[in-house]
């Protein structure tokens, strides 16, 4: 089996690529890549926005507690956004809060 990143097509489409394009279906590798990127987005958001990058405690139990509070906050974030502004899109909340503070 040849993995997609090992193929050396140099911009040329193979017969298999043309067949997939003809029947308008995505490859299983492409679907798995999209799923994996969703997990990576969640992990990046946990690290960047919810304290997963810098852990200032020692010990397995304390680190696990710190990360689980981050996961809890990450899970509650869409619900809080929905309760505050009726949508789950973060940009809308930011605009709503800026309007409230500066009017």
**Whether the predicted pLDDT of 58 surpasses 80:** yes
Beta strand residue intervals within the chain, DSSP E: none
Tokens matching residue 19: 């067949």
Say how far apart CA 87 and CA 94 lie, in whole Å: 12
For residue 71, the surrounding DSSP H or E stretch is: helix 60-85
Q: What percent of the chain has pLDDT over 90?
A: 18
> pLDDT by residue (tens digit) across 14-35?
888 788 788 877 778 777 777 7
Reported pTM: 0.53
> pLDDT by residue (tens digit) across 62-85?
999 999 999 999 888 888 877 877
């Amino acid at each position: 089996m040849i993995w997609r990143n090992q193929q050396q097509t140099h911009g040329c489409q193979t017969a298999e690529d043309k067949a997939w394009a003809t029947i308008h279906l995505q490859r299983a590798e492409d679907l798995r890549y999209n799923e994996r990127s969703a997990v990576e987005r969640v992990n990046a958001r946990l690290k960047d926005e919810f304290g997963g990058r810098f852990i200032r405690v020692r010990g397995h139990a304390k680190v696990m507690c710190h990360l689980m509070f981050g996961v809890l906050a990450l899970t509650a974030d869409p619900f809080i956004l929905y309760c505050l502004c009726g949508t789950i899109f973060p940009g809308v909340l930011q605009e709503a809060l800026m309007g409230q503070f500066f009017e």
